[in-house]
Amino acid sequence: MNQLRRMFVWLGRINHCRGFGIQSPTDYRFVRYVINERAPYYAYEWLGIGQTWYQRKLGLLYFRLVNERQPSVVVDRVGMADYLKAGCKKCTLTDKIDGKVQMAIVSIEDDIPTLFNNCDEHSMVIIQDIWRHKSLWRKVVKDHRTVVSFDLYYCGVVLFDQHQSKKNYIVNF
């Protein structure tokens, strides 16, 4: 993606910076202190060396998400194992969906309805490249199992906590 397009995406989402407009305290904390965290983490120096800005940006986000959640099993179908293992040393990485899913990082082209059938209220699903298939992302947001979703343009984060009301947040990431 070229710099001009990145600038237009950023300017188009400028009203959604750093959690502005999010009324839920838990969702605000998640956006402010996990998704848009700017403080350096312990592994930032050596992660993503030699990768493109896009791979590094998403990799560091996945690192922060895994570091926050500390799942025991992560379904990784996008090849971000270095970032995931750095964020949670005790987690097991797999590319198969067996039983309940705690955390999954998949592409928008994957079989998402099958994945959602294996999710519970503690699950988190990260869907990569939602900007390439906006109609598929809209279907994910409208799915009855999806409760809270975060549209980060480059990827989407889906939560299934039934104690919250259904909401889709647009975040300038």
Q: pLDDT tens for residues 148-161?
A: 999 888 889 999 98
Stretch (H or E) spanning 151: strand 148-151
Residue 20: pLDDT band (50, 70, 90) is low
Spell out the SS3 assignment of 4-47.
HHHHHHHHHCHHHHHHCCCCCHHHHHHHHHHHCCCCCCCCCCCC
In this structure, which amino acid lies at residue 144? H
- The yes-or-no verdict on residue 125 having pLDDT over 90 is yes
So what's the architecture of 3-170 in CATH? 3-Layer(aba) Sandwich (3.40)
What does the mean pLDDT of the chain come to? 84
Q: What is the dihedral of CA 106, 119, 47, 44, to 10 degrees?
A: 130
Domain extents in the chain: 3-170
- Side-chain-side CA neighbours of 116 within 13 Å: the count stands at 20
Rounded alpha-carbon distances, angstroms, from residue 171 to 23, 90, 108: 13, 30, 18
Q: Please enumerate in sequence order all residues whose Cβ is within 8 A of that of 18, keeping only pairs 6 or more positions apart, or say none.
A: 31, 32, 36, 172
- The yes-or-no verdict on residue 132 having pLDDT over 70 is yes
Residue 124: the pLDDT is 92
